Amino acid sequence: MTTNTVTEQLTAAGRAIEHDSFAIIDAEAGPHAYTAEQWPLVRRMIHANADFEFNGLTVFHPEAMRAGFLAVLQGGAAIVVDVEMICVGLSQPRLQHFGLSTHHYISDADVIEAARAEDTTRAVQAMRKAHRLGKLDGAIVGIGNAPTALIELVRLIREEGVRPALVIGMPVGFVSAAESKDLLMTVSEVPWIAIRGRKGGSTLVVAALHALLSLAEAEQKKLAA
């Protein structure tokens, strides 16, 4: 097996554990309807939470994986997220390898002030700020915590012509979480990856992004061969 030197575990022992875990998931998951490009991402999400329900709950826009590959391989793309937890969870060496930068605005003073003034959530105002700063077009947008961020992003796509390269929409929770993902899955303007129902979370967005980086590195090696 070819080792991805940037996007895999740094030691042989770490790689062995990760590869063994993936092999167990492959064996226990059984048949699935995902493509050869999609399954590594779903498998890494299962690995992150030891929850096999993501085999079936995870839904892909037909162009999602290709769009994600291109955004990563072209380099310099922004990754805009709803909460800092996603940024903290992402491997900096992996991001630096592709020249990717992370951005979140939910704790900015002007975002908090606008949320109070307009009686909205900070997540809504953070997406609006990202749009004002020109960070959303061509970006990979990852939402794992705030359904209102995802709802606002869909509005920006449909009403203001925002065009992210890819939306990874996986907010977790009981209020509007499932509904926000259902809404995302009606979007035809941009590619997306989503999870049906209430499940989700920042760890799954991190897992999905790391899967994209790993697949992109493998593709990068093929192109260089």
> Domain coordinates of the chain in residue numbers?
12-224
Neighbours of 78 (CB within 10 A): 22
* pLDDT single digits (tens) 17-46: 788 888 899 899 988 999 999 999 999 999
Q: How many Å apart are CA 27 and CA 70, to the nearest integer?
A: 30
pLDDT of residue 2: 52
- Do you know the residue count of the chain? 225
Q: Which of 19, 32, 47, 131 is catalytic?
A: 47
Instruction: Kindly tell me if the per-residue pLDDT of 57 is higher than 50.
Output: yes
- Burial group, residue 103, by CB count within 10 angstroms (0-12, 13-18, 19+): middle
CB of 59 closer than 8 Å to CB of 194: yes
* pLDDT single digits (tens) 163-216: 999 999 999 999 999 999 999 999 999 999 999 999 999 999 999 999 999 988
CATH of 12-224, one of 3.30.230.10, 3.40.50.720, 3.40.50.10860, 3.40.50.10230: 3.40.50.10230
Return the structure tokens found at 218: 């493998």
Return the structure tokens found at 213: 């980086």
Q: How many Å apart are CA 82 and CA 80, to the nearest integer?
A: 7
When pLDDT is averaged across residues 81-93 and rounded to a whole number, the result is 94
How confident is the prediction for the chain on average, in pLDDT? 92
* pLDDT single digits (tens) 64-82: 999 999 999 998 899 999 9
Long-range contacts of 194-198 (CB under 8 A, 24+ apart): 194/58, 194/59, 194/168, 194/169, 194/170, 195/54, 195/57, 195/58, 195/59, 195/169, 195/170, 196/57, 196/59, 197/57, 198/172, 198/173, 198/174
Instruction: Kindly tell me if the per-residue pLDDT of 3 is higher than 70.
Output: no
CB of 84 closer than 8 Å to CB of 104: yes
Query: Known catalytic residue: 19?
Result: no
Q: Above pLDDT 90, what percent of the chain?
A: 80
Instruction: Kindly tell me if the per-residue pLDDT of 88 is higher than 80.
Output: yes
Nearest to 202 by CA among 137, 144, 139, 154: 144
pLDDT of residue 19: 82
Instruction: Kindly tell me if the per-residue pLDDT of 1 is higher than 50.
Output: no
Instruction: Kindly tell me if the per-residue pLDDT of 62 is higher than 70.
Output: yes
